Amino acid sequence: MSRIVVVGAGAAGTSAASNAKQFDRSHQVTMIGDFASTAYSPCGIPYVFGREIDSMDKLFLQKPEFYTNEIGLDMHLSTLVESIDKGARTVVCRGGETFPYDKLIICTGWAYVLPKIPGVELDGVKFIKDIERAREIDRELDSVDDVIVWKARPVGLELATGLAHRGKRVTVIDDEPWLLAEFADPDVVKMGQDSLESMGVKFMLSTTLKELKGKDGKLVVAVTDRGEVACQMAFMAADEKPNTALAESIGVKLGSGHGVLVDDMMRTNVPDVFAAGALVETMQAVAGVPVSLLPSTYAYPQGRIAGTNAAGGEMHTRAAYFPWAMEVGKVQIGGVLITETLAKALGRQYTLGEAKGITSARYHPKVEPMNVKLLVDPKSREIIGVEFYGGDGVKERADFLAFAMRKHATVDELANMENVYSPPIGALNEPIALAAKDAQKRLSAH
């Protein structure tokens, strides 16, 4: 029997604690979370704001009792961990309560970097994270007409889509010249911007937010280097940072990406201390660079590996290809890193393959575009990146390509892939194969 303490009750923490207990039920597993809630999907918040989902309550996956009664965890919510006594091997909480551990798993996640913009402390300026706070914002939104979204990042665009759907006047402000600049190329996101604009969303790109001005403590206007925008609420898709302070306080080392450095068993450099979730670094397979702040699809398996290993098992992690996809307005956009922008920044050679495909037979009323942009290594002919934009099926194609890239699929294999043809659900020519054929042509032209 070991005493395993998990700090953090988000996706990584609940996964680590549950898997540790399930691996060996003789362990005493304690999970400590600072928020009052656990086991909900923060990703759903923009859709509740948008009234696509009618209640925050629907975002909860499990009641807290599930973890105590069914899994058998010792759970402490609304409990702030103040320090760790590495010598005594105890976790010390605000109020003085302490929890001794044999193995410690740190799952403290991420935090927003508070932007240095005057007025950011005003009442109407919102950072989306905790669901209980989101409930309040949801109510406040009823009396708001004009909102700004700062930064056209994934959560910013989900908020813009949702708020436009709810009938708000939305302006998106970003220093970057195009949407999703960290994930996608400008040609790939244009269709999403068009879609949001057709829903009434305004974009101020290449635009710096200088100040948020209030009146009687309430937000009234956003000041940019390109003019002012009246607004009663501002959603800040600010920079995020790995929440590493607690880990660092006991000597846990960070990597070059400012996240916690773990080995392939999720162990930190400090004996018996594991970490999992947004605070740790994962190697991006194609770019060969460590990235932190990965989403919850990674927090769950990482938590599983950390929890299982802390409990005495042996599981290993791998580099990540990181497929992603989302709806921007009514358009789906997604892909697998790296992008053309990133390839250029890394000085990486690539050949493009592009296709303007479709999702079903061209004559079927459900037909939608499915555009594909492939990046191919001209020497190995392997796929090193892909982006999709268009109608339904981007998520499935991104999953497929992430798997194919892990299997070192070449452009020739994709050009000759078999595909389903059925008028309502699949075109004669699969868009991925068309893009691969285009890349083959360009490769042979060299």
Where does this chain bind its own copies (CB under 8 A)? Answer: 41, 43-44, 47, 52-53, 58-59, 295-297, 300-301, 318, 320-327, 332, 334, 361, 363-365, 392-400, 402-404, 406-407, 409, 413-414, 416-426, 428, 430, 432
CA pair distance 248, 241, nearest whole angstrom: 14
Closest residue by Cα to residue 148 from 55, 238, 48, 47 = 238
Minimum CB–partner distance for residue 335 and its own copies (Å): 10
CA pair distance 81, 83, nearest whole angstrom: 6
- 142/363 with CB nearer its own copies: 363
CA pair distance 284, 333, nearest whole angstrom: 20
Token code pair at residue 126 = 């919102």
Minimum CB–partner distance for residue 92 and its own copies (Å): 33
Token code pair at residue 178 = 């195009």
CA pair distance 74, 446, nearest whole angstrom: 63
Cα 14–Cα 17–Cα 22 angle in degrees, nearest 5 = 115
- 68/416 with CB nearer its own copies: 416
- 93/384 with CB nearer its own copies: 384
Minimum CB–partner distance for residue 71 and its own copies (Å): 18
- 80/428 with CB nearer its own copies: 428
Minimum CB–partner distance for residue 251 and its own copies (Å): 31
Minimum CB–partner distance for residue 317 and its own copies (Å): 10
- 151/304 with CB nearer its own copies: 304
Rounded to the nearest 10 degrees, how much is the dihedral formed by the CA atoms of 197, 203, 206, 208? -170
DSSP state of 320: B
Minimum CB–partner distance for residue 398 and its own copies (Å): 5
Minimum CB–partner distance for residue 408 and its own copies (Å): 9
Calculate the CA 1 to chain-centre distance: 36
Minimum CB–partner distance for residue 387 and its own copies (Å): 13
- 218/421 with CB nearer its own copies: 421
- 225/392 with CB nearer its own copies: 392
CA pair distance 227, 83, nearest whole angstrom: 46
Minimum CB–partner distance for residue 374 and its own copies (Å): 14
- 32/107 with CB nearer its own copies: 107
- 28/296 with CB nearer its own copies: 296
Whether the Cβ atoms of residue 77 and residue 64 lie closer than 8 Å to each other: yes
Whether the Cβ atoms of residue 336 and residue 405 lie closer than 8 Å to each other: yes
What is the DSSP annotation of 324-384? EEEEETTEEEEEES--HHHHHHHT---EEEEEEEESS-TTSTT--EEEEEEEE-TTT-BEE
Regarding beta strands 282-284 and 125-126, do their DSSP bridges make them parallel or antiparallel, or are they unpaired?
A: unpaired
> Side by side, which strands form the sheet with 90-93?
81-85, 90-93, 98-100
